[in-house]
A and B are shown apart, each in its own frame.
Chain A
Amino acid sequence: MSAIERALSSLSTVILGKNQQLKLSMCCLLADGHLLIEDLPGMGKTTLSHALAQVFGLKYSRIQFTSDLLPADIIGVSIFEKDPDSGEGAFRFHQGPVFAQVVLADEINRATAKSQSALLEAMEERQVTVEGYTRQLPQPFFVIATQNPSSQGGTFPLPESQLDRFLMCLSLGYPDERAERELLEGVSRRHLVEDLQTVISPETLVRLRQAVEGVKASSAVLDYLQRILAFSRSDARFTHGLSPRAGLALLRAAKAWAVIEGRTFLIPEDVQAVLEPVVDHRLKSGAARHILENVAALA
């Protein structure tokens, strides 16, 4: 049993009946991308992110986004402190919650654009600059942001350019009947999460990410990927096509998927498997299905 399979099976003891989503979120982590989860409250978003941090042995923190959240609440702040020994005062930087390896940004669309962009900049640069001093964020750095799609009153929806920063957008959905019963019968998820063992050490994670880099994409698969990009750029269903960055993201996610499937080369099915979470939030809902129906896998 490979490390990935073990990680998956221990995750699935906490999040029941959501194997596909678990795989995809792991895929996102392996591909070194950030994850956006769009779902109603109480669907297990927090549990999932906490469990992921636990299984990968990563430092976890959570930021609840509200409309009065300030960038300093995310990044951290310098405070003037007196050294008790020498009695001399100096500014000292107190790290904000963003200095963690897995950051859960809960209800990211509740905060103002200013605070959102503070986090999104950190996501892109993997470092924060406060008062002219640049601080590296810990590695690996993985942001899981959540959004509530149903109540949009008083929110600041993420613009397209920032949606593009998330490699994938998932929604968990209600559990099926059997999983739900199991959930009701079992013990509290919180205890389960706390008891989760680290299955993949940070060193293994680094190795896995190297494996993702090393997945071979033959020209047959790259052709398919390019057909998808070209189709999205000309089809009347879409107002705009996929950007080159989106194309790279799709390739990276597909490679991570191949690693999860235990392969060292890409096949079109890898692209198809990650197409929906990677593409739908960048184009529009239903985009992936339209692409799957219209772009030939071999041509």
Chain B
Amino acid sequence: MTSVALPRKALLLQVLAVLSSLVPHLGYLPVWLYLMVAFVLGWRWLVYTGHLSFPGRFAKLVAVVLACVGVYTLSGGRISLEGSSAFLISAGVLKLLELATRRDGIVVVFIALFIQASGFLFNQSILYSLQGIGTLVLACAAMVATQAATRTGLSSQVPVFGVTAKLLLTALPFMLIVYFLFPRLGPLWSVALQSDSALTGLSERLQPGDISELSQSSEVAFRVTFDGARPARNELYWRAMTLDKHDGDGWDKSVLDAAQLPMPAIIEEATYDYEVIQEATGQAYLFALAGSVSRDRDIELTATRLLRYDRPVYQRIRYDVSAPIEPVIGPAFDSELRTAPDLYLALPSGANPMIREWARELPSEAGQFAKAFVRFVREQPFYYTLKPPRYGEDDIDQFLFSGRRGFCEHYASAMAFAARAAGIPSRVVAGYQGGEWHPDGYLTVRQYDAHAWVELWDGQQWFRVDPTSAVAPDRIEYGLQRALLEEDTFLEESPLSPHRYTDIGWVNSLRLQLDTINYQWSRWVLAYDGETQKGLLSRWFGIDALVDGLYIIAGSIAGLFVIGALWQWWQQRPEKRKRLILIWSELRRTALKKEITVGEGTAPLSLLAEIELTYPSLAAQCHTARCALIQVYKSETEDMLERAEKNLARQLQLLNRQLRRVRPGAEATTSGNIQKRPV
């Protein structure tokens, strides 16, 4: 079978579909890939205009090798999400270079859809989903245009977008059925496709500068909806992890964050009940107010009274939490601070002598100490800034007694250090503080709300002290933007971010509306998981067993298919094709089987001559058929044509029957020198 040529419209649509599918990936693609796209498009354009031919095997090999090298340098040999999709994208783009036949066209359409789908690994917001629909439309249209290429060459008459719209609308019910009812299977295999940059968030080690860096991002960390009472803004301390190991440089995550406690029963007295929709972090920590408990089965309680997921969060998750209005953070273990106080008192030897000296003069009772420290911060000329100087050796000393410029992690780190030096068990807590109340009643917490504060042990329980509130009360009461108003460094690196312009009314309301849409999108569409599905199945259909559900799904899909097929059949009952054409194509098939070369464009008389040449025994019937054929070409009126075609059909059928009976190779062909051209 020779390859089928590709219509112009299809070529254009295929290229557009591939380009559109690249959109979700634009953020991280390396420069060389953009150059490659431009190069490939340029080459394909020159092929189209006839200035260049399709690349040869060698050129293609070079391109593939270069792309492989590029992908390798991008990922450094590790399997990363970016590297893998860059590989897929470069393969897809290079395929455009040999886009010539229908087969290539179909492959390209599938690649475009796959590239688009892999984009959802990076971003699932509603804008990208809409863009994905755009790609889907383009890809479908490309497919329609590709398949419309018929041998008759009349493809230009197919209304491509009309057919596409019909197809997609027909598919809509199936999509809904599958979305609602198809079992949410876990991944069949799991490769740690850790993304390098796609996931922003807190890391397990806190060093000066980490949180200020995180503050440059306005990405959503999580969203919270309170059911009933809401806490005041200055109480919104979302704990993610506790850091209790200080090595002179930074703070490391507590080993106790991994230890598990039995989840206590839901507190009956006054509580805040809230639901969190958390974005992927690639880590297991969750965000919760102090003292929170959750009934979700996947959620554990750590010894440090944090909520923890039982696996890293690679997808957006949703969980319900209750927190007491007056939280008490008890000890990890009853004996913890009696037997191992060293854990919360340990300091690296030597460093920061001044603060050790100074701390000895502070009260050794936790509450008094906190007051004293906070007073010190408030009275000295401390300054809250996103751009603190770099402190070198003895950095806490330098910060506290000479530099006095720092971000929350500096204050928290200094206070925790001083507390330990004063003999008070302390730890740094990393998480988020505050968030933005949306008019619709939910709270959006973004990366720039990241915060660090201190917890001190008063002999009975841990209590929270936030030294940042002393130097920048606006940070706690109103958020980072207000706190940095004077310095004007809020989201300095993204001058176009709408979060910078909350004082411009329409920008802000537009931003808030978009945020609402995205919130509803993630709450109702993306967060629809296996649990919700089970609930839905039992509520709507009274089905509890998954197997029954599967039967229902299979049944309804099959039912819809049958209905659709019947409708299709009724709509276009096979148009009566001309009998002559059917017989003609049958004859061609038979001829192919009998080792006669016949192409798409082989004209009837030439085929007859070929048959006669190969099988002289059929000469008589060939001759009759030839006469009938000539009558067709000679006919002048429609009447004559109809009669001639009828006769020709009969003769060709006879010939076909005879041809079927001959055995290839049985007849010695006369010398190949016979003039093959007929008439």
Is B604 a contact partner of A298 (Cβ separation < 8 A)? yes
Is B604 a contact partner of A268 (Cβ separation < 8 A)? yes
Judged by a CB distance under 8 angstroms, whether A216 is at the interface is yes
A219: chain B residues within 8 A (beta carbon): 638, 641
**Stretch of B117-125, B146-154, B242-250 that contacts chain A:** B146-154
CA distance A49 to B205 in the complex (A): 89
Is B679 a contact partner of A227 (Cβ separation < 8 A)? no
A268 to chain B, nearest CB (A): 4
Judged by a CB distance under 8 angstroms, whether B565 is at the interface is no
Is B679 a contact partner of A261 (Cβ separation < 8 A)? yes
Which chain B residues in 331-346 approach chain A with CB under 8 Å? none
A216: chain B residues within 8 A (beta carbon): 634, 636
Judged by a CB distance under 8 angstroms, whether A267 is at the interface is yes
Contact pick for A294, options B4, B603, B638, B679, CB 8 Å = B4
B4: chain A residues within 8 A (beta carbon): 294
CA distance A237 to B10 in the complex (A): 11
Judged by a CB distance under 8 angstroms, whether B584 is at the interface is yes
A158: chain B residues within 8 A (beta carbon): none
Is B634 a contact partner of A298 (Cβ separation < 8 A)? no
Is A239 a contact partner of B636 (Cβ separation < 8 A)? no
Judged by a CB distance under 8 angstroms, whether B572 is at the interface is no
Is B600 a contact partner of A236 (Cβ separation < 8 A)? no
CA distance A55 to B638 in the complex (A): 41
Is B156 a contact partner of A230 (Cβ separation < 8 A)? yes
Judged by a CB distance under 8 angstroms, whether B525 is at the interface is no
B599: chain A residues within 8 A (beta carbon): 292-293
Is A233 a contact partner of B641 (Cβ separation < 8 A)? no
B515 to chain A, nearest CB (A): 44
Is A294 a contact partner of B600 (Cβ separation < 8 A)? yes
A293: chain B residues within 8 A (beta carbon): 2, 5, 599-601
Is A218 a contact partner of B634 (Cβ separation < 8 A)? yes
Task: Produce 1/0 per residue, A275-299, CB < 8 A to B.
Answer: 0000000001000001111111111
Is A294 a contact partner of B5 (Cβ separation < 8 A)? yes
A231: chain B residues within 8 A (beta carbon): 5, 153
Judged by a CB distance under 8 angstroms, whether B348 is at the interface is no
Is B156 a contact partner of A233 (Cβ separation < 8 A)? yes
Nearest to B49 among chain A residues (CB) is: A239
With contact pairs A268-B604, A272-B603, A291-B601 given, residues A296 and B634 touching in the complex (Cβ less than 8 Å): no
Is B2 a contact partner of A218 (Cβ separation < 8 A)? no
Task: Produce 1/0 per residue, B70-113, CB < 8 A to A.
Answer: 00000000000000000000000000000010000000000000
Judged by a CB distance under 8 angstroms, whether B665 is at the interface is no
CA distance A230 to B636 in the complex (A): 24
CA distance A238 to B152 in the complex (A): 17
Is B5 a contact partner of A267 (Cβ separation < 8 A)? no
CA distance A124 to B521 in the complex (A): 67
Judged by a CB distance under 8 angstroms, whether B505 is at the interface is no
With contact pairs A230-B156, A267-B603, A299-B151 given, residues A218 and B8 touching in the complex (Cβ less than 8 Å): no
Is B632 a contact partner of A295 (Cβ separation < 8 A)? no
B156: chain A residues within 8 A (beta carbon): 230, 233-234
Which chain B residues in 51-85 approach chain A with CB under 8 Å? none
With contact pairs A261-B679, A295-B600 given, residues A239 and B50 touching in the complex (Cβ less than 8 Å): yes
B14 to chain A, nearest CB (A): 9
Contacts A237-B5, A293-B5, A295-B153 aside, 19 further interface pairs with beta carbons under 8 A come to: A218-B632, A219-B638, A219-B641, A227-B154, A230-B152, A235-B5, A236-B5, A236-B11, A237-B6, A267-B630, A268-B603, A268-B604, A293-B600, A293-B601, A294-B4, A297-B601, A297-B603, A298-B580, A298-B603
State the 5 A-B residue pairs at the shortest beta-carbon distance, nearest first: A231-B153, A236-B11, A268-B603, A297-B603, A234-B156
Q: Name A residues whose Cβ lies closer than 8 Å to a Cβ of B.
A: 216, 218-221, 227-228, 230-239, 261, 263, 265-269, 272, 284, 290-299
- Show 16 residue pairs from A and B whose CB-CB distance is below 8 angstroms, ordered by the A residue: A216-B634, A218-B632, A219-B638, A219-B641, A234-B153, A236-B8, A265-B633, A265-B634, A267-B605, A269-B679, A284-B50, A290-B5, A292-B601, A294-B153, A298-B580, A298-B603
